[in-house]
């Protein structure tokens, strides 16, 4: 009889196993992974650099039916403690000015290696290329069924991750929890590119700009982010877009508003453009924005405002200048949706957190059953917040499991 079986050897599953084993060296842990090696999805995070955590901890960075659920775990294992944990594994963490933290090596593979070495050094048994088909509870024991084998244990931790990321995604955690009576809330892609109306966007393919991005729902501004915006053949991408993609996933009638010059008020922009009209009067409108905005973007903005780019700048009326200024500050594009779960970095939605204790991550329905990481209905913003939740939830569950096993052995 094994003490604990962990289903899923991703970020949360590996961290849990290490933290629990360190707390109780006598704890017998079996870590089961369906893929041929551990940490496959973790290797891809942060464009291969692994954005381990973010020092700008704020519960407002987290989402779900009840994002406050994450507060206990995150407060108990904040970014500074997470950095200490990785330092103890040999991974030095470098915090950047914006709060994002990466391994000093700049390699996600080094994070996976450090976790893998620690599992081996602590004596955690790891089974790869093994899928869990079913979990049953019998008295104080669980029966975990794989292809041809039944494993018995006192406690089970579901750490299978979410369905985001195409082949790196996983449905099994939801299936197992559902079979044990847990409610799985609607799942949508998050931190993903946005599909838009292409009338003007397609003409801007490949252009990068920096500005404010707002999501509007029936004209009401839901949220604004500042950052890089990339125009693509399908719509929009870039850090600012990824941050807002969750809102698009859950608000299918949304509209995107782009502000290309956040440093200027609309009033100041009109004044500046009237001066440009005087200074550049002999140029065609197609060159009116040269040196101020991306040339192609400026031409598209003029077309958006139904202004002939062949006419002279001197022919622009004050009303047209005002319309151009308003459009530069509020370039609206209809959002059609996202590029889907296969392109998403994280799953929004998942196992209903109302059915788990926030301090230990143990199920309220089944004693000894725990769930951590992305499989739960908690997802964070782009920038290391999701991995931070993985480490924090793993730590909370490690404390919970060790306490649970100790009480069983009394």
CATH of 2-189+345-408, one of 3.20.20.150, 3.20.20.20, 3.50.50.60, 3.40.50.620: 3.50.50.60
pLDDT at 57: 85
Alpha-carbon span 29 to 31, nearest angstrom: 6
Q: For 112-130, what is each residue's pLDDT tens digit?
A: 999 999 999 999 999 999 9
Query: Which of 75-96 are b and which e, b meaning 16 or more Cβ less than 10 Å from the residue's Cβ?
Result: eebebeebbebbeebebebebe
Mean local confidence (pLDDT), 94-122: 96
CA distances 96 to 99, 132, 383, Å, are 5, 39, 11
- The Cα angle at residue 137 between residues 132 and 142, in degrees rounded to 5: 60
- pTM attached to this predicted model: 0.94
pLDDT at 382: 93
Alpha-carbon span 197 to 98, nearest angstrom: 32
Where are the chain's structural domains?
A: 2-189+345-408, 193-339
Alpha-carbon span 245 to 236, nearest angstrom: 10
Q: For 47-93, what is each residue's pLDDT tens digit?
A: 889 999 999 989 999 999 999 999 999 999 999 999 999 999 999 99
Mean local confidence (pLDDT), 140-155: 94
Q: How far is CA 199 from the centre of its chain?
A: 29
Q: For 380-395, what is each residue's pLDDT tens digit?
A: 999 999 999 999 999 9
Alpha-carbon span 297 to 336, nearest angstrom: 21
pLDDT at 389: 98
Mean local confidence (pLDDT), 199-213: 96
């Amino acid at each position: 009889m094994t003490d604990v079986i962990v289903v899923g050897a991703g970020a949360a599953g590996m961290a849990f196993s290490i933290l629990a084993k360190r707390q109780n060296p006598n704890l017998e842990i079996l870590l089961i992974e369906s893929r041929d090696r551990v940490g496959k999805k973790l290797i891809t995070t942060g464009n291969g650099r692994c954005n381990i955590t973010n020092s700008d901890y704020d519960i407002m960075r987290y989402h779900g039916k009840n994002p406050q659920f994450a507060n206990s775990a995150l407060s108990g294992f904040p970014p500074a403690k997470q950095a200490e944990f990785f330092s103890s594994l040999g991974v030095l963490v470098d915090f950047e000015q914006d709060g994002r933290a990466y391994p000093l090596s700049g390699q996600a593979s080094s994070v996976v290696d450090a976790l893998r070495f620690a599992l081996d050094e602590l004596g955690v048994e790891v089974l790869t290329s093994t899928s869990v088909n079913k979990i049953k509870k019998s008295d104080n024991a669980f029966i975990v069924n794989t292809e041809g084998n039944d494993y018995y244990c006192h406690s089970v931790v579901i750490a299978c991750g979410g369905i985001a990321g195409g082949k790196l995604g996983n449905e099994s955690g939801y299936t197992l929890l559902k079979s044990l009576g847990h409610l799985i809330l609607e799942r949508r892609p998050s931190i993903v590119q946005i599909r838009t109306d292409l009338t003007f966007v397609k003409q801007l393919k490949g252009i990068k700009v920096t500005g404010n991005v707002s999501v509007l729902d029936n004209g009401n501004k839901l949220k604004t982010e500042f950052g890089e915006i990339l125009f693509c053949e399908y719509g929009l991408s870039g850090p600012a877009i990824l941050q807002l993609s969750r809102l698009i996933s859950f608000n299918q009638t949304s509209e995107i508003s782009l502000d290309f010059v956040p440093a200027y008020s609309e009033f100041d922009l009109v004044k500046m453009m009237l001066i440009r009209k005087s200074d550049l009067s002999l140029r065609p409108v197609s060159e009116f924005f040269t040196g101020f905005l991306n040339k192609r973007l400026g031409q598209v903005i003029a077309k958006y405002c139904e202004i002939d780019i062949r006419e002279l700048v001197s022919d622009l009326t004050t009303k047209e200048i005002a319309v151009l200024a308003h459009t530069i500050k509020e370039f609206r594009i209809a959002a059609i949706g996202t590029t889907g779960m296969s392109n998403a970095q994280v799953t929004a939605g998942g196992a209903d957190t109302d059915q788990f204790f926030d301090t230990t991550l143990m199920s309220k329905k089944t004693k000894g059953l725990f769930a951590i990481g992305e499989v739960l209905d908690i997802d964070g913003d782009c920038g290391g917040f999701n991995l931070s939740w993985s480490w924090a939830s793993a730590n909370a569950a490690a404390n919970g499991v060790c306490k649970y096993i100790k009480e069983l052995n009394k």
